[in-house]
Amino acid sequence: MSDRATDRVRETEVRKTFAALLAAGLVLLAGCMDSGGGSSVSVGSRTSPSTGSTTTAAGVGNLRAYYHQTIHWKACGKDRCGSLSVPVDYHHPSAASTKLAVEVAPATSGKAIGSLVVNPGGPGAPGVDLASDASSYFAAPLRAAYDIVGFDPRGTGRSNPVDCLTDHQLDQFVAEDPDPSTPAEVKQFSASAKEFWHGCEKRSDSLVDHVSTVDAARDMDILRAALKQSKMDYFGFSYGTKLGATYADLFPRKVGRMVLDGAMDVRLSTRESALHQAAGFQTALTSYVKHCVSGDHCFLGSTVQQGLHRISALLDSIAKKPLPTQSGRKLTVGNAFYGVVAPLYSRGMWQYLDIGLKQAIQGNGSVLLSLSDAYTMRGQNGGYTDNSMEAISVISCLDDPWSLPPSKIPGQYAAFEKASPTFGRVFAWGLAACWGDPMRNTDDPHLKIDAAGAAPIVVIGTTRDPATPYEEAVALSRELKSGVLVTRNGDGHTAYNEGNSCIDDAVHSYLIHGKVPKNGLRC
């Protein structure tokens, strides 16, 4: 896993995929294979809508015009949709502009107390989905109180998405062994990285150099002004916590009520962050196996160690011989990795992992491949429904271009295998993610974020969160001068609207009524 592909949208996609598998009867067919033909792949099916292209900002001399713009809303189903103009380069705001897709789900009460800007994470996940499908992400009290405002950050979704690979190339990129162990595999790994970054330069316009978190945070303040809000009320998940914390540091006096759930420690180095996440996924996998062996007749074995070993052995065997699937595609070890980690994002999805692993052990990779496709946002027609798998690398590497050459990765094995015996080497290879990246951030990406002068910022962490380990929430709450830590004791990524009434009540009391929870509250 090269970057933190973590967001609420992926969780929902996995759930939807499993529901579709149930409806089709696929999850009941362990060990049974369809002998029919494979699926077709649509190459280059992603398009950039005209509202997202970069244009010359005629008549724009500075940021004043951006801050005084009016969004022209149009009905889109039950919601309102529009676009926000922002400068491509904040150092040269009069040079060119680009547009961000924005969607508002009006408060169900008809009497909104304000606009709540939301972000699902990623980086790279489109944010309008949180508005268009607000009932899946936000509980009724919050939807009644606020207009939920989702936006696609620059370079993502419908906001002039960066493009690096054709869909066929992206299929190959995802399927490759994330832990290359032979000279030939390492050579292929390096060639794929070169192809990726060359594609980003060739297939994207000048915006690709300006999609950093700092750029996106500055966009958020223009969005705040266009929404006619004197303060920014914000709810960010996963990477959205980094985006929110960056906004708070840049515009501390504009912070209203802010909640950061599944928090990232924004001061970690790339290597430290990768080690944390490797350990987080190992903790989540161990918790999953413990749950299995605590019941009767666990298919993975009778002890946690047996269960972990069986999963590792399965991945090793798939690396040597990919599994057939009902679609006609092969389940490679790259796909299998995503298929295993995707259900670890929520305890409610462990049942999907049960079925996927049982099938794979019997020689059928169908469900794990479907879970991988849901995680990587690959549609059933072979096209990708958004560019998040590309945007995550571009944004992450602009934020921190530090990288190791492939030749240096084996020297990291010991530390990463200690953090995660199952996934460690995959995360070690993630340290080469930015190798060969030609893009560079024009801002200092190493901000020492503390948001001094901001209103209270509620930081939520879950004790066995795989993607953003709990220790990072503790760290962020301390780094922010006004940070307030709230802890959920449980499994899965992020805490809100996951069945913990203590968490939900604390969030609602703060966002709706302004009551700041007690620092150190445990739920």
Catalytic residue ranges: 238, 465, 493
Q: Are 77 and 135 in contact (CB under 8 A)?
A: no
Please give the distance of CA 413 from its chain centroid, rounded to a whole number.
25
3-state secondary structure 212-247: CHHHHHHHHHHHHHHCCCCCEEEEEECHHHHHHHHH
- The amino acid that residue 134 corresponds to is A
| DSSP 3-state of 284 | helix
Burial of 34 (0-12, 13-18, 19+ CB in 10 A): middle
- The amino acid that residue 378 corresponds to is R
Contacts of 297 (CB under 8 A, 6+ apart): none
Using CA atoms, how far apart are residues 177 and 319, in angstroms rounded to an integer? Answer: 7
Contacts of 360 (CB under 8 A, 6+ apart): 314, 318, 323, 331, 336, 367, 368
Longest Cα–Cα distance of the chain, Å, equals 71
Which structure tokens are listed for 101? 């897709």
Residue 53, number of CB atoms within 10 A of its CB: 12
Q: Supply angle C-alpha 268, 273, 278, rounded to 5.
A: 155
Using CA atoms, how far apart are residues 442 and 440, in angstroms rounded to an integer? Answer: 6
Instruction: Using alpha carbons, select from 272, 285, 264, 275 the residue that is nearest to residue 462.
Output: 264
Contacts of 433 (CB under 8 A, 6+ apart): 2, 3, 193, 393, 396, 397, 403
Residue 185, number of CB atoms within 10 A of its CB: 14
Using CA atoms, how far apart are residues 440 and 443, in angstroms rounded to an integer? Answer: 9
Using CA atoms, how far apart are residues 311 and 151, in angstroms rounded to an integer? Answer: 38
Q: Which residue has the tokens 């062996």?
A: 293
Q: Supply angle C-alpha 467, 471, 477, rounded to 5.
A: 110
The sign of the torsion formed by the CA atoms of 157, 93, 51, 168 equals: negative
- The amino acid that residue 481 corresponds to is K
